Amino acid sequence: MYRVLITDPLSDQGIERLLEAEDVEVVKKTGLSPEELLVEIEHADALLVRSQTKVTAEVIQAGKKLKAIGRAGVGVDNIDVAAATSRGVVVVNAPDGNTISTAEHTFAMLIALARNIPQAYRSTISGEWKRKQFVGVELRKKTLGIVGLGRIGTEVAKRAHAFGMKVVAFDPYLTAERAKKIGVTQATLDELYAQADFITVHTPLTKETRHLINQEAFEKMKTGVRIVNCARGGIIDEHALLEAIQTGKVAGAALDVFEQEPPGNHPLFDLPQVIVTPHLGASTVEAQENVAIDVSEEILHILRGEPFKNAVNLPSIPVELQEKLAPYQTLAESLGRFIAQAAPGALHTVTVTYSGELTELDTAPLTRMIIKGALSYHLSDVNYVNASFLAQQRGVNITEQKTSQTRGFTNLITVEITTDQEQRKVSGTLLNGFGPRIVKVDEYPIDVVPEGHLLLIQHQDQPGVIGRVGTLLGTRNVNIASMQVGRKQIGGQAIMMLTVDKPVSPDILAQLAQLDDIRSVREIDL
């Protein structure tokens, strides 16, 4: 039974799948103090939050069973993602659920800013009738500059077209082809600043985007420009914005987010040109339910060991790629586990080579599985999320390469490692109808199913060696399920790979190593 702790308000409709799951216990405890959260998280397999709960490194450390943290929304500012990654905890969000809600709110703010609607409302209900004071501007034929053309920015662009606006956009990942498809003009930031009558930002808050729109940026803008921010507080330098409005450079601003929330008695609130809302971008009934539904499904997938897609601390994997790589995941991890046990010593380098049809795919997810397998021999807390992080932390150099040489196989994965003692290599493939196979160890051809208890024995190819090994194991009540022998030349160095029914004790391994013509014996548990 998995225990899912929910510490921020979420509707039962949004978490319906969790509530109905027979293998899940849902515990809803909102408004916990930091001390109470540390107690509750100790028994949780997953934590589901919105923006109120602060998921610190201390909280993550206290979650001894924690496998996943779900954020019912887009931003993960309240979650220590680095700490989660180092602990192997998957952090997922719901990037699609509030797209329409935020885009609509952005446009509502844009129209309100252009027509002075909040100011006119306050004046009218106070008994005034000042029509001339609230003359606005039309959106038609105006230029809207969109900084960040992701999901929300794209939806804003669609609505701007409906109002007859020209749209220029900046996004570091925007291609000319995509810009043409959306119907926007691709621009640099400086070009956008120079052309736009309205500017709206839709980027995440990162080290690079913090105070992206600052005093220098305002100086490059048209006089009379209007600014909208429904993305993240901190993208706009609020002090620079205050000065730009006071000098007349900026005609007005509509802000849904702030650098500090709640913002308190902010000096921007004293300016009649500024309209504000309390972070309402995702605050619709539909968005609240959608993000909760999306993140609940992701949590279920993670807990059940099923594929998931919205991990913040893992690269997103398209569904089509997932389907193509899925058959190789068990093979990849097995190769990592095998080679780590075959080569004693501290791991220094890992080189993964993909051959055949795999060279046409993004194989990074498989490489992570290999690293996970290799590190799991030495580390108990390694998983798919933190494998690369832990390898880097320990100074392990990882190289991924691809080659057209298939050596007779449709697909081939080769893992080569160096330790402080030796260098070894293993290759594996998928045989149609038979599943994963190890087909080469070092330079010796072999055919072994990578599972169960294996003995890897290096020996001199001499008559009687195999018989001596079989006899010793038989007299020690160790049953051999299968045996494969690989050699390059008669009488030279060779290997044998045995599948046995149970683990072999250290004293039996020592006796095998003392047999004539045996060079080394390694037990491998897959």
Which tokens in the block code for residue 5?
A: 């702790």
CA 254 to chain centre: 32
Query: 487 pLDDT exceeds 90?
Result: no
3-state secondary structure of 314: coil
pLDDT digits (tens, 9 = 90+) for 259-311: 999 999 999 999 999 999 999 998 898 988 888 999 999 999 999 988 777 78
Spatial separation of the C-alpha atoms in residues 242 and 274, rounded to whole Å: 9
Query: 313 pLDDT exceeds 90?
Result: no
Task: Tell the residue number behind the tokens 């997938």, with chain if given.
Answer: 301
Q: Is residue 390 very low, low, confident or very high in pLDDT (cuts 50, 70, 90)?
A: confident
HSE-CB at 362 with a 13 A cutoff on CA atoms is 11
Question: Are 446 and 484 spatial neighbours (Cβ–Cβ below 8 Å)?
Answer: yes
Q: Is residue 381 very low, low, confident or very high in pLDDT (cuts 50, 70, 90)?
A: low
3-state secondary structure of 293: helix
Q: Which residues are catalytic?
A: 232, 261, 279
Spatial separation of the C-alpha atoms in residues 197 and 215, rounded to whole Å: 17
What pLDDT does 434 receive? 80
Intervals of CATH 3.30.70.260 along the chain: 452-526
Q: Answer with the residue of higher pLDDT: 251 or 175.
A: 251
User: What CATH code would you report for 452-526?
Assistant: 3.30.70.260
Which residues, in sequence order, are CB contacts of 195 under 8 Å at separation 6+?
143, 145, 168, 187, 222
Which tokens in the block code for residue 388?
A: 């690369």
Strands ordered across the beta sheet of 185-186: 185-186, 166-170, 143-147, 198-201, 225-229, 250-255, 274-276
Find the length of the chain: 526
What pLDDT does 174 receive? 77
Q: Is residue 379 very low, low, confident or very high in pLDDT (cuts 50, 70, 90)?
A: low
Beta 435-441 vs 453-460: how paired, if at all? Answer: unpaired
Q: What is the mean pLDDT of residues 197-205?
A: 92
Question: Are 195 and 145 spatial neighbours (Cβ–Cβ below 8 Å)?
Answer: yes
DSSP H helical ranges for 304-408: 319-342, 364-376, 387-393
Write out the DSSP string of 194-254: HH-SEEEE-----TTTTT-B-HHHHHTSPTTEEEEE-S-TTSB-HHHHHHHHHTTSEEEEE
pLDDT digits (tens, 9 = 90+) for 204-236: 887 778 999 999 999 999 999 999 999 999 999
Query: 250 pLDDT exceeds 60?
Result: yes
What pLDDT does 513 receive? 93
Q: What is the mean pLDDT of the chain?
A: 91
Q: What is the mean pLDDT of residues 374-388?
A: 74
What pLDDT does 347 receive? 84
Beta strand extents in 357-464 (DSSP E only): 397-403, 411-419, 423-431, 435-441, 444-448, 453-460
Intervals of CATH 3.40.50.720 along the chain: 2-96+286-303, 99-276
Which residues, in sequence order, are CB contacts of 135 under 8 Å at separation 6+?
116
Q: Answer with the residue of higher pLDDT: 259 or 173.
A: 259
Whether the model clears a pTM of 0.85, i.e. scores above it, the answer is: no
What pLDDT does 77 receive? 81
Q: What is the mean pLDDT of residues 355-360?
A: 90
Query: 183 pLDDT exceeds 90?
Result: yes
Domain 2-96+286-303 has CATH 3.40.50.300: no
Q: Which fold has domain 317-448?
A: 60s Ribosomal Protein L30; Chain: A; (3.30.1330)
Question: Are 242 and 268 spatial neighbours (Cβ–Cβ below 8 Å)?
Answer: yes
Query: 399 pLDDT exceeds 90?
Result: yes
**186: which strand partners?**
169
Intervals of CATH 3.30.1330.90 along the chain: 317-448
Which tokens in the block code for residue 216?
A: 């220098």
Q: Is residue 19 very low, low, confident or very high in pLDDT (cuts 50, 70, 90)?
A: very high
pLDDT digits (tens, 9 = 90+) for 101-117: 999 999 999 999 999 99
Beta 347-356 vs 411-419: how paired, if at all? Answer: antiparallel
Spatial separation of the C-alpha atoms in residues 297 and 295, rounded to whole Å: 5
Q: What is the mean pLDDT of residues 420-449?
A: 90
What pLDDT does 522 receive? 93
Percentage of the chain lying above the pLDDT 70 cut: 98
Query: 173 pLDDT exceeds 70?
Result: no
What pLDDT does 95 receive? 75
Q: What is the mean pLDDT of residues 141-169?
A: 95
What pLDDT does 312 receive? 78
Q: Which fold has domain 99-276?
A: Rossmann fold (3.40.50)
Count the neighbouring beta carbons within 10 Å of the beta carbon of residue 164. 11
Question: Are 372 and 386 spatial neighbours (Cβ–Cβ below 8 Å)?
Answer: no
What pLDDT does 316 receive? 63
HSE-CB at 406 with a 13 A cutoff on CA atoms is 10
What pLDDT does 393 receive? 67
Q: What is the mean pLDDT of residues 350-368?
A: 92
Q: Is residue 380 very low, low, confident or very high in pLDDT (cuts 50, 70, 90)?
A: low
Task: Tell the residue number behind the tokens 């100086």, with chain if given.
Answer: 219
What pLDDT does 464 receive? 93
What pLDDT does 13 receive? 85
Task: Tell the residue number behind the tokens 């021999």, with chain if given.
Answer: 377
What pLDDT does 488 receive? 83
